[in-house]
Structure 1
Amino acid sequence: MPKHISLISLLVVCSLWNMPQAVHAQALIPHTLQLDAENLERQGLQLAQEAAQLGQFQQFDLALPRARLASQLAPNNDRVWFLLGGLHLQAQDVDAAMAALEKANSLNPENPDIFFALGSANFQQQKYQAAADHYKQGLKLKPDYREGLFDLGNAYYMLGRLPEAIAQYNKSFSQDQKFWPAINNIGLIKYEQGDIESAMKQWRTSVEIDKQAAEPLLALAVAMYNQGDRQQALSMGEAAIRIDQRYANLDFLKENLWGERLLSDTKIFLELPRIQAALQQSDN
């Protein structure tokens, strides 16, 4: 953009030196600015499209510079700022994400996806009440959005508002009977409340929906092991690790909202010889 501004300034200077009828030079300047602005915005939108494609492949080092430049070339386009905020959010730069998303929201306060993204940014900063407020604003505009309902449930969960969290998870699941994360998280709550049977019921349903879902499979294995069904539990635990070894990491489980009771039981389960052997095989 500075290059275009300096070029226009040079045209103005030349007109003042060489053209005694300054009114003609003044009449040309707005037309030149308008053409440049349209061209710049087109270039900005093209860069934004490239950034979005790169972001899909997690290539944030290439995507973010393009998105930043796009926001300079098309500063009044809320979709460009929303993209920039989303990329920063995926790259774990939450402060930069918040700034871009708030700019997008100021340009278009009727876009529910911006509210949901702001909720996610606040959630990552452990500002759960602010996250819940943004999710609710998004749901006013998009009330049947399953991910928004699920995210609001997570915010309520972290605020300790467990009945409200379960209600949101159920609403989310009612929008899509294959969306197992919603009922999986009901299982997480039930386990922490000591209602092991209800937790296991939720996780069994989750596994029935998606047999490649490692999270409910491991949670169910841990619960079954503690209930005495140890051989089947160990086989299920081995299968869960083969599907996704990240779930053998307690920090990763905590990030996925596993509570203290389940984490404590899972720690013991992961230290069992058969599970340790399965982990070593996965490493190889």
Structure 2
Amino acid sequence: MAGGLWNLAQPAHPQALVPHVLQLDGNQLEEQGLRLAQEAAQLAQFQQFQLALPRAELATQLAPDNADIWTLLGSLYLQTENVDEGIRALEQAKTLDQENPAILFAIGSAYFRKQDYNRSIEYLQAGLRLQADVPGALFDLGNAYYMLRQYDQAIAQYQKAVDLDEEFWPAVNNIGLALYEKGDIEGALQQWRSAIEIDGSQAEPQLALAVVLYSQGDREQALLLGETAIRLDERYGSPDFLRENLWGDRLMEQAQAFLQLPRIKETIAQSSQTSPSE
């Protein structure tokens, strides 16, 4: 029998096709990673963070030596509340680009979110040593000092931010918050009035001013300001939101009483009903 027992013992199988794997060189891989990173950045601009994240993750694998891509990945993790992963990605970016202040500022901001204010200060200061004229970083540094109740240090950083950008109302507002916690009520009121002059569409300084004026007996003016503030941004009717915005113990004690006033409670209820989120 032709072929002998071999043919009987072996079942007939068609020859398997070995799939062809495209071999990419390093430059091609990096180019593909850059394209993915660009897609991720574009998605992030439209707040499509969950779609952007896997693209950025893959981009770091294809272009692992690109600090910008690691920075993008870190920022996306922070946007999706993965703070620890964000810090790890940003630390990798820092190892690749040690003289980039933006990376240090981002790490400092991430540690602030972890409530590790000393580490936050460390990184923000390191970034400011490389680039001192960044109002946002000075503001963040002021906030870290504020959370440590180092109010004089906080005010000094906020003032540096305002000196660089006189229209930077959040820094003016937060000088008021720090002064109030220090017991300088008139100084705080002046800062909040200045913040309103810079941008009258902002709710926070108007509400802070309202709370303090009410405690001083200027009740009708205070109620009008408070109603205006809550109509501008109904989130300021929430004590939790005020805490998130660094309102300190002294101001919060008065704010909680103010928010329980009938006219203010009614305004909060009306604003909640007409809020776009509803």
Q: How does 1:57-136 map to 2 (within 5 A)?
A: 57-136=46-125
Tell me the residue number matched to 1:281.
270
Tell me the residue number matched to 1:7.
21
* TM-score, structure 2 as length reference: 0.88
Give yes or no for the alignment of 1:256 onto 2:270. Answer: no
2:236 corresponds to which of 244, 247, 253: 247
- Cα distance in 2 for residues equivalent to 1:57 and 1:235: 36
88-97 or 170-179: bigger deviation: 88-97
Quote the offset at 1:226 in angstroms.
0.9
Tell me the residue number matched to 2:34.
45
Tell me the residue number matched to 1:192.
181
Q: Percent identity?
A: 57
Q: Which amino acid aligns with 2:139?
A: F
Q: How does 1:134-153 map to 2 (within 5 A)?
A: 134-153=123-142
Which sections of structure 2, spanning at least 5 residues, go unmatched? 1-19, 274-278
Quote the offset at 1:122 in angstroms.
0.8
* TM-score, structure 1 as length reference: 0.86
Residue-by-residue CA offset, 1:105-143 (whole Å, 9 max, x unaligned): 000001100000100111111111110010000001111
Residue-by-residue CA offset, 1:160-213 (whole Å, 9 max, x unaligned): 222111111100100000001111111001111221111110000001100111
- Cα distance in 2 for residues equivalent to 1:232 and 1:66: 52
- Cα distance in 1 for residues equivalent to 2:47 and 2:238: 22
2:163 corresponds to which of 158, 163, 174: 174
- Cα distance in 1 for residues equivalent to 2:87 and 2:271: 38
Residue-by-residue CA offset, 1:69-114 (whole Å, 9 max, x unaligned): 1111111100000000011112211110011000000000011000
Q: Which amino acid aligns with 2:142?
A: G
- Cα distance in 1 for residues equivalent to 2:38 and 2:233: 31
Bigger fraction of residues in helix: 1
Quote the offset at 1:41 in angstroms.
1.4
Tell me the residue number matched to 1:204.
193
Structure 1 segments, 4+ long, off by >3 Å, are none
Please identify the structure whose Cα radius of gyration is greater: 2
Tell me the residue number matched to 2:255.
266
Q: Provide the secondary structure at the position in 1 that maps to 2:127.
A: helix
Q: Which amino acid aligns with 1:7?
A: V
- Cα distance in 2 for residues equivalent to 1:213 and 1:46: 39
- Cα distance in 1 for residues equivalent to 2:212 and 2:42: 41
80-89 or 43-52: bigger deviation: 43-52
- Cα distance in 2 for residues equivalent to 1:231 and 1:75: 61
- Cα distance in 2 for residues equivalent to 1:225 and 1:90: 38
Which sections of structure 1, spanning at least 5 residues, go unmatched? 1-5, 9-31
Quote the offset at 1:247 in angstroms.
1.2
2:43 corresponds to which of 54, 60, 63: 54
Q: Which amino acid aligns with 1:202?
A: Q
Q: Which amino acid aligns with 1:190?
A: L
- Cα distance in 2 for residues equivalent to 1:91 and 1:239: 32
CA RMSD of aligned residues (A): 1.3
- Cα distance in 2 for residues equivalent to 1:162 and 1:280: 35
- Cα distance in 1 for residues equivalent to 2:255 and 2:192: 15
1:221 corresponds to which of 193, 204, 210: 210
Q: Which amino acid aligns with 1:236?
A: L
